[in-house]
Structure 1
């Protein structure tokens, strides 16, 4: 019997695909690039980078020397992006020896050098979005119990289960079902282009403190709106942090 596939949607680094939605990059209100059919290039498996054909670049590109060599795309060339009197230094890159011939003349832009990225007319947050990632939130009556070093931290029969392509399900709990007195906010922050900005809590229970062991989204993006204000625990953080679903412990992979 064939093995069960764990993640059939893992994208191999070096994959190049034509996009199906318009992508724009702007700086201070000026359009730097605008492509109805951009190239999506996975230099790494978790997210694509957007590449623009020369005719889709609206700014002047001025050669700025050699860039870093990519393990999968080869050597690169850097360019300053010139917008009138403004210069975004070394903010564009090209890979003239890339394995896929169709992308060798195309340019990618440094994400942080642009202040606005748009997919059609919606803002893209943090990095490029994969067309193969889907996020769903599902209300459930499953029993979720969280135990830290022998002390019950949360007990709920009304979790919201968040599923995201390629990742394990996560169980988000109402705060009234969580011992919030055992949680203390931290400075940790993480960013996701599908869910938004997450902030973290440490859990102190049973004489043990597990740092950044829970997180939540106060104002998630549209796909994850169902988990707004809820709390999710991270059993991978410590073997002393146990999450049970219907009596069965989640074993971190």
Structure 2
């Protein structure tokens, strides 16, 4: 598929998902389909809409409530698997839906315990098919500083290029000055890289800067080159690349 430049938004509307999609709740497969649809509800990533015929009917609980939303009329359903209940978490589109969506179900992502594309778990939201994430080894020299203190320096970074985000520099742990880092309990998921295994805050003098560095010990298969490496938020530290100071970017993480 074609990649969209950072300044453009993905196409609006509906597209078929070419991957098998499954979701699990309380150990039970709630849906299993090769006919899911991508529906863009806002510009940055789509949602899955699932054919009702590919949803386990025994887990759906009709809450007898009709809602009119932007794409048509839906009947609100909950989910029930044994003692586990997720009220109001599924919207079944009726015949009064926009073209192509009648007979589909839109689930709240967080209502499920896990989602899968083929046999790989997906986190946070469906992956945007128009986003690329590439991890490339490099011999460029990267130095990370904060308030004049060097936090890390390496001439063997892995550079991660992700559509719409600044380049991230992943560095070997031997290149990181851990005397300035303090472990954090934070864990964050990413639909493209997986779930972080570690986070660190940075202490410079008497000031603690929370959650500025992280690592993925077990990233997704496509991002295996970053396994165990440490990256910093460019937005909150100073990066010097091949001797040239880089401007701090502005992203939705820090504004």
Q: TM-score range by the shorter chain?
A: 0.7 to 0.9
Is 1:134 the counterpart of 2:103? The answer is no
Structure 1, unmatched stretches of 5+, are none
Is 1:186 the counterpart of 2:206? The answer is no
User: Could you say which residue in structure 2 is the equivalent of 1:210?
Assistant: 209
User: Could you say which residue in structure 2 is the equivalent of 1:118?
Assistant: 116
User: Could you say which residue in structure 1 is the equivalent of 2:57?
Assistant: 59
How far is the alpha carbon of 1:159 from its aligned partner? 0.8
More deviation in 31-40 or 82-91?
A: 82-91
Query: CA separation in 2, counterparts of 1:11 and 1:161?
Result: 24
User: Could you say which residue in structure 1 is the equivalent of 2:25?
Assistant: 27
More deviation in 122-131 or 222-231?
A: 122-131
Aligned 1:1-253 pairs, distance under 5 A? 6-7=5-6, 10-11=9-10, 15-60=13-58, 61-66=60-65, 73=71, 76-81=74-79, 88-95=86-93, 100-198=98-196, 199-237=198-236, 241-251=237-247, 252-253=249-250
Query: CA separation in 1, counterparts of 2:176 and 2:157?
Result: 11
Would you identify which runs of 4 or more consecutive aligned residues in structure 1 move more than 4 Å? 65-70, 72-76, 82-88, 95-99
Cα pair distance change 1:150/1:82, threshold 3 Å: closer
Structure 2, unmatched stretches of 5+, are 251-255
SS at match of 1:102: coil
* TM-score where L is the length of structure 1: 0.83
Query: CA separation in 2, counterparts of 1:243 and 1:28?
Result: 44
Query: CA separation in 1, counterparts of 2:206 and 2:114?
Result: 46
* TM-score where L is the length of structure 2: 0.82
More deviation in 143-152 or 95-104?
A: 95-104
SS at match of 1:181: helix
Alignment check: 8 A CA contact 1:59 1:83 kept: no
